[in-house]
Amino acid sequence: MSHASIRQVLEGQRAAPGMALGRVRLLQPRRHAIDDSLLRAEDVAAELERLDLAMARARGELAELRQRLHGALAREAQPFLDTHALILDDPELRAGLDDMIRRGRFRAAAALQAQRDRLVQVFRSMDDPYLRTREDDLQHVIARVLDALEHDGSSEEHRLAARLGEILVAENPSPAEVASMAELGLRGIIASGGSAYSHAAILARSLHLPMLCSVPGADSSLGDGDLVLLDGERGIAIAHPTAQDLGSLRQWQREQAARGRLPPLPAIPAQSRDGESIALYANAELPAEVAEARALGAMGVGLYRTELLYLRKQTLPDEDEQFAALRELLHVLDGAPATLRTLDLGADKAIGTGLDMPAEANPALGVRGVRHALRHPEILRTQLRAMLRAAALGPLRILLPMVTLPEEMAAVRAHALDCLAKLKAAGAQVPDVLPPLGAMVEVPAAALGVRALLAEADFLAIGTNDLAQYVLATDRNLGALSALYDPRHPALLRLIAGVAIAARRANKPLSVCGEIAGDPMAVPLLLALGIRELSMAPTRLAQARAAIEATHCAQLRALVPRLLRAGSRGELEALLCTLGNR
C-alpha cells in the first residue's frame, strides 16, 4: 500500500454543516515530489509496472471525461482530449521512459520529469507558434501521469471513488468557482485558508454543501483523486476513510432522512421567556433553500442574494430572466415577504461573469454594491424593473448594499421611481407605489451617520459580516486573521446599539442579517441591544429559536449599560453567564 492510501485526519474550522464523500479536486494541484534516488536492479521491473498502471489510469481518466461531456462543451474539449491521448500513446515517449528506467535506473516520476524537461526545450525551439503552444498539453499529460503515480490508492477505493462526486480543495475558493462546480455535482469544499464568514462559505451554506476552512496544509497534503470524507459536523476531513468512518456517514444520512419526514414548523415569531416576539427570517439565494426555510419556521426571506444569477453565466441576465427567478421565489413564499438585495459583487468575485469590472487592489473597499449600481445605471435599472414587476406578485422590499451616503439612497430611489413610471406607461403589471427601499448598514460611516440615512431609507438591515471586517480592519476571508475577526467584538456591538436606537426613534424597521443572527452565542447580545428581526441561513433557524426561548429580554435590557462598557468578548460572555443567557 502506498503512503497515499493511509488514513489521514485533517482538522479545520466548520464553515457549512453536513457530510460528504467524494474525490479530491484540487483547484491548484500541488507540485509533485520527485525522488531522484536511483533504483536497485531488482526494483526495475516493479517500477516499469507502476508506470504502466499510471499511464493506463491516465488514459482511463481521459476516456471517462470524454464520455461525460456533451453538446457544445464536448465539441470544444474534444481536440484537447485527443491531443492528450496521442501524447500518452506516443511510442517515442514511452520508449524514452523505459530506457531511462532500465538503463539509467531512474524512478518513474524522475523519468517523467526528465522527459518533460527535454521535450519542453524541443517545443520552445520550434519556429511555429502553434507547435510551441503544445508545451501546455505536454505539461498537463505528464502532470496527470505523475498524479496517478503518487495517488494510486487501493483498487477498492478507486471503485468507490468512481461512483462519487468531487470535493473541491483549494486555498480560498471564490463564489464563482463554487457556483460553477456546484452545477457539475460538487459534494463539498475544503479550504486551507478563508473563514466561516467568507462569501464562499456563505454560498456553500446556501447550496447545502458541507465546507471546512482554515485546514492547514489541505491543498498540499491531499491529491487529485484521493478519496476523502468531509465531516462538516465535527470539523474534520478524513483522507482514505475506513469502513468505520463510512459507517458514521451512513448514520448521519439516516438521521437526515428521518428529519426530512418531520412535519413543517409553523411560521410564527419566536417567543422569549418573558413573552417578547422575535421575527425569524432566512437568508437565501435559491427557491429550494427558501422552501426548506419555510419548513423550518422562517416567516419569510430577510435577505435574498441576487448574485447567483450573475455568477452562473458569462453574460448578464436580462430583465425577463431575473423576473422569472423572482416569480419562482415569490411562488415558493406563497404570500410571505421577501427582501431582495440588489447586486453586490466586487471585482474579485466578478471574474467569469458578464460584469465588466477592472481589477482592483482592494475589492472589498472598491466599486461594489450601490457604488457599482450608480456607475452602471443600465445594470441597476434592469434589476429594478424585474423587482418592480415581481412586486405585483407578492410582498417584497428592495435592499441596497454598501450604502455610505444618504445621497446614494436618493439617487437609487429616483431611478426606481422612473422605472416604475415607465413600466406603468408600458402597461406592465406593477404596484401603484414603490416597494419599501432600504439600506444595508455595513459601512462604518453609514452606522455613525445613521440618522441622516434614515431620512432616505424606509428600513435598515445591518450586515454584520462586512461591518465587522471594516470596523476591525480584518479581511474576513483571510484565515491567518480569523482570531481577530470577531463579530461579537464590543466595538461592533456599540455601533449596532447606536443604529438600533436611531431606528427605533425614527419608527423604522431594523433587522440583522449577518451570520451572527444565527449564532446562539450572539443572539442574546442582539436581543439585549433591541434587535427584534433576525435573518440567517435556514440551517441555523432551529438553534436561533432555541436561544431566544432561553432568553429573558427584560433582564437583558437591564444589563445593556454594562454590556456596552465591556472591554472584551470574554467580559460580555461573563455578563451573560450571570443570567444564564449563553
Grid cell, residue 164, equals 462519487
> What is 284-338 written as a DSSP string?
ESSHHHHHHHHHTT--SEEEEE-THHHHT-SS---HHHHHHHHHHHHHHHTT--E
Query: Where do the CATH 3.20.20.60 domains begin and end in the chain?
Result: 270-577
Distance of alpha carbon 576 from alpha carbon 582, whole angstroms = 6
Q: Choose among 520, 499, 492, 518: nearest CA to 457.
A: 499
The DSSP output letter for 477 is: T
Contact (CB, 8 A) for 373 and 412:
yes
Question: How far is residue 501's CA from residue 495's CA, in Å, rounded to a whole number?
Answer: 10
Residues of the chain falling short of pLDDT 50: 1-4, 29, 69-77, 129-130, 132-133, 154-156, 158-163, 581-582
What sign does the dihedral 228-229-232-234 (CA atoms) show? negative
Tell me how far apart the alpha carbons of residues 453 and 441 are, in angstroms, rounded to a whole number.
9
Kindly report the backbone phi and psi dihedral angles of residue 397, in degrees, each rounded to the nearest multiple of 5, phi listed first. Answer: -125, 155
According to the model, what pLDDT value does residue 325 have?
Answer: 93
- Please give the helix or strand (H or E) that residue 468 lies within, else none: helix 464-472
Task: Give the gyration radius of the chain's Cα atoms.
Answer: 27
Q: Which CATH architecture has domain 270-577?
A: Alpha-Beta Barrel (3.20)
| Chain center to CA of 425 | 41
pTM: 0.67
Report which residue type is found at 268: I
- Whether 513 is catalytic is yes
CA distances from 549 to 487, 513, 527, 581 (A): 22, 20, 12, 10
CATH class of the domain at 31-148: mainly alpha
User: How many whole angstroms separate alpha carbon 141 and alpha carbon 123?
Assistant: 15
pLDDT, tens digit, 9 for 90 and up, residues 130-141: 454 456 567 768
- How far is Cα 46 from Cα 557, in angstroms, rounded to an integer? 74
As its CATH architecture, domain 157-260 has 3-Layer(bba) Sandwich (3.50)
Nearest Cα neighbor of 572 from 526, 533, 517 is 526
Q: CA 413 → CA 170, 380, 405, 433, 460, distances in Å?
A: 41, 11, 13, 12, 15
Number of helices and strands (H, E) in the chain?
A: 24, 17
Q: Is 208 an annotated catalytic residue?
A: no
Q: Please identify which of the residues 84, 199, 489, 552 carries the catalytic annotation.
A: 199
For 180-195, b/e burial (b = at least 16 CB within 10 A) is ebbeeebbbbbbbbbb
Side chain identity at 370, as an amino acid letter?
A: V
213, 513, 552, 553: the active-site residue: 513
The residues near 49 (Cβ < 8 Å, ≥ 6 apart) are: none
Q: Is the Cβ–Cβ distance between 403 and 373 less than 8 Å?
A: no
Please choose, from the candidates 146, 26, 152, the residue with its C-alpha nearest in 3D space to the C-alpha of residue 88. Answer: 146
Whole-angstrom distance, CA of residue 161 vs CA of residue 234: 22
Nearest to 214 by CA among 192, 182, 243: 192
Query: Which pLDDT score, from 0 to 100, does residue 521 have?
Result: 86
Listed in sequence order, the residues at least 6 apart from 392 whose beta carbon sits closer than 8 Å to its beta carbon are: 429, 430, 431
pLDDT score at 161: 46
C-alpha cell, 134: 503544445
DSSP, collapsed to helix, strand or coil, labels residue 37 as: coil
From 200, 148, 141, select the one nearest 170 (Cα to Cα): 200
Question: For residue 347, which amino acid is it?
Answer: A
Q: Residues near 108 by Cβ (< 8 Å), separated by ≥ 6?
A: 47, 48, 50, 51, 54, 97, 101, 149
Kindly report the length of the chain: 582
Angle at 23 between CA 17 and CA 24, to 5 degrees: 80
β partners of residue 510: 460
At residue 238, the 3 state secondary structure works out as strand
Alpha-helical segments (H) within 238-300: 243-260, 287-295
pLDDT score at 266: 81
- Amino acid 221: pLDDT: 86
Alpha-carbon distance of 271 to 279, in angstroms, equals: 9
